[in-house]
Each structure stands twice: as structure tokens, then as C-alpha cells.
Structure 1
Amino acid sequence: MKTLMTTAMAAALLAGCSTTTNDFPQLQYEAGAVIDSGEFGNATMNNIMVHSAQEEYRVNLARRFASEVDSTVNFEFNSAALDADARQILARQADWIRQFPEVHFRVYGHTDLVGSQAYNRRLGLRRAQAVVAFLTSQGIDRSRLEAVASFGETQPLIATNDRERRNRRTVTEVSGFVESNPLVLEGKYAQVIYREYVARATAAVVIDEATAAGG
């Protein structure tokens, strides 16, 4: 009788201590794999960028660019040619970009929903490349400009299957920093901010004096 009870108790204890893969999935992997989940390195990199002011400065620049300059140009149907309005907008973009030699910019190309997705993706990329070529002609270093991404017809501003000029566009955005720039390598982002602050303050004084002079 004692033997039967002991056997039953042992079986119960073993059952209670056994685990399934659903209870503790981390036990199936090496230490740290579940905590990492493939994103720990990205989080660490982002943390370093924030503490060095790099990421915060990039975000602030991106917001300023979008608020101070028209970041979008539009195109005729099935065309990557830049019209007069597009060239004026891009000339202003180039003036703004020249202020920040430490910064990378990326140009995204879009189309409307007419035509196949594959064709529109190629067309969107051609539009982005046309913008990069124009900015380069305005004295912007080609290495600071990217036209590698095209959303084709997948991100329309206006949801319609018909021709829509507002969907046929490129968008220029701040994307990061030039890695070879001395200020970036040395983490001296404050110098960039100060330089640009002084330039804007000087421009404001000139404007105020002109206003005071009248006529």
C-alpha cells in the first residue's frame, strides 16, 4: 500500500513540476534571446543618438524643413518632367538644404493609382531621381541626396482610382547626417545649431532695419 502511495505522490509531484514550451518559452533559447528579441541593438543606437543630440536635432530639422519650405512637387500624368512650378519649389529647397552641409536628404516618389503597381513604382522612382538631379544642379552634393525609395501608388493623398495630380508627387525629407562630416564625427552638433542661430538672427536684424527705414 505504501509503495502505491509513494508512486502516486511521485507522479503527482513530477506532473506539478513539469513545464510545457508555452509556460516558459525562454527556456528553449540561449540566455538573453527573449529579452533582445532582435531590437536591443536598435534601441541602444537610438539611445546614443538621443543623448548626443543627433536624433533630436534631426527631428527638429525635419519639422523646420516641412514648415519653412514646400517639400512637395507635383507632376503631369505619366511624366517625370519638372514644370516651372516644380523648379521654383526645388530652388527654394536647395537654398534651405545648402544651409546644412551636415545633413542628408531623401526624396520619395509617388504616383496616382492609374496603371500597374510595378510600372508606378518605377515611375515614382524616376520622379525622385529627377528631383535629385535638379537639386544637384543647384550645387547640392549628390552624396547628400537619396532617391532610393519609391512608394509608387501605395500612399495616395487622395483615395481615388482616377487621375489625381496631388498624388503624383515627390516629397523631400531630412533623413540623417553625413557620416564623414567633422562636426558629426566629433559630436559637435551645438556648433551647427549655434552657426544657424547666428545666421538667422543676423537676417532678422537686417529685415528690421529695412522695415524701420520705410519705403
Structure 2
Amino acid sequence: MATLMGCAGAGSDPVYSAFNREAGALIDTGNFGNATMNNTLIMNGEKQYTYDLSQRFASEVLTTVNFAFNSSVLDAGAHDTLREQANWIRQFPEVRFRVYGHTDAVGSNSYNKSLGLKRAQAVVRYLASQGISTSRLEAVVSFGETQPLIVTEGKERRNRRTVTEVSGFVAGNRMVLDGKYAEIIYRDYVRSAQAPTGLTGSAVTELSVGN
């Protein structure tokens, strides 16, 4: 019996199971290359600019919408919040966004992961209906019940939510290829300092003197 149990348990042993997989399976756990990618993003500035833009997004619009218990249906408040998000996102066609789904702790972990993903997908669909390309929106991550805002086993509405975040820049976009990340982030600030189009040089001077 002990021998049989040992054989049965061997299937879950990573060294034993490696004989039935491709060479190097134990070495490459899916994170191979992450260090190089992270260094590249830091060196070209993209990582910092992604963080800066994410901070600005979070400070200027509501990034979270909440849901009824055991539901992925967007209510009127969610629609208002997502319209604000869409208006902000439209200003930055070079930027990608990710929607994270969350649940409360009621129910199994597998069920809550599925529900969290449905909530994220509902948000992506609504943003798409507001004219945002789905190529810039991701709803592939669901934390389920694992990251509560309020630690409780009960039905806590604040834990039943999605969070929209900046995830990076669109590969191949002209601005990104030129490395003009700062110009992307501060685009509307730069525009606000520019003279209205159609004014002559003398008109601009008069406006400046008048101010």
C-alpha cells in the first residue's frame, strides 16, 4: 500500500512530472524574460510614465464602480462613472487600460473569480459602447475575493467592484515610437497654454498685454 501511495504522490512532484514535459519546464515557470523587460521599460522611461499617467487618471476620475450582490449588471451610478472614464480615455489614444474585477468573500473562490471577470468584461463592453477601442482595453484579470477593501466574510458592497487602471502604451503608435511619453501625459496642459488657432501675431500680443 505504501508503494502505491508513493507512486500516486509522485505525479504531483515537480521533479517526477518533469519527465513527462518539455526540457527546461522546471527552469522556465513563465516568468523568464521579465527582468529584462522590466529593465527595458525603466531605461526608456515607459514604466515611470505609465505610473505617472495612472496616478493622474486616478486623481481626475473615479476609477471604481460597484455591483449588487452576486451580479455583474451595471447600475445607473456605474454608467455615470464609466462615461467619465470614457471621456478621459478618449483624450489618450496612445494609452492602454486594464479593468480588474473583484468580489466579496461570499461563495467559493472559483465562483468569485468567474464573477469578478464577468464584472470586468461588463465594464469593458460599456466603455466600448462609448467609442473606446477594445484593442486598448483588457479584462483578463480577476482577483475574485482575494483583495478586499473591507476585510469581512459578509456581503460588503465596497468589495464588489471593478477598478480601471492605466496598463501601458499602444505599441506602434507614432508618439510612442518617438518616445514622447511626457507630451502624451501633459497634452491638455500644453494645449491650454497655446494661443487659440486663427489669431494673428499682433492679436496674440494684444491678448498677452491685456492679461
3-state SS of 2:100 partner: strand
> Where do residues 44-123 of structure 1 align in structure 2 (5 Å cutoff)?
44-123=36-115
2:119 aligns to what?
127
Deviation at 1:130, TM superposition (A): 0.2
* Residue of structure 2 equivalent to 1:157: 149
Report the CA distance shift for 1:194/1:114 in structure 2 as closer, same or farther (over 3 A): closer
Q: Deviations over 1:100-153 (max 9, x none)?
A: 111110000001011111111100000000000000011111100000000011
Structure 2, unpaired ranges of 5+: 1-29, 195-211
Letter in 2 for 1:136: A
Return closer, same or farther for 1:151/1:83 CA change in 2, 3 Å cut-off: same
* TM-score normalised over the length of structure 2: 0.72
SS in 2 for 1:157: coil
Counterpart in 1 of 2:9?
A: none
1:8-57 Cα offsets, whole Å, 9 max, x none, are xxxxxxxxxxxxxxxxxxxxxxxxxxxxxx98954443333233221121
Cα distance change, pair 44–171 in 1 and its aligned pair in 2 (3 A): same
Scaled by the length of structure 1, the TM-score of the pair is 0.71
Q: Counterpart of 1:19?
A: none
Letter in 1 for 2:67: F
Distance, in Å, in 1 between the alignment partners of 2:184 and 2:54 is 15
Structure 1: gaps (5+ residues): 1-37, 203-215
Aligned residue-pair number: 165
Q: Identity rate of aligned residues, in percent?
A: 67
User: In the alignment, which residue of structure 2 is the partner of 1:138?
Assistant: 130
Q: CA deviation at 1:164?
A: 0.6
The whole-number CA distance in structure 1 between the counterparts of 2:66 and 2:99 is: 13
Choose the corresponding residue for 1:186, options 162, 178, 181: 178
- Structure 2: how far apart are the matches of 1:194 and 1:110? 31
Partner of 2:166: 174
Inter-partner Cα distance in structure 2 for 1:54 and 1:44: 14
- AA of the residue aligned to 1:82: L
CA shift in 2, pair 1:60/1:47, >3 Å:
same
Q: Which residue of 1 aligns with 2:205?
A: none
Task: Give the conservation status (yes or no) of the 8 Å contact 2:53–2:185.
Answer: no
Deviation, structure 1 residue 181: 1.1
The separation in 1 between residues aligned to 2:111 and 2:186, in whole angstroms, is: 46
Secondary structure at 2:151's aligned position in 1?
Answer: coil
Do the aligned residues in 1 keep the contact of 2:94 with 2:175 (CA within 8 Å)?
yes
Deviation at 1:200, TM superposition (A): 4.7
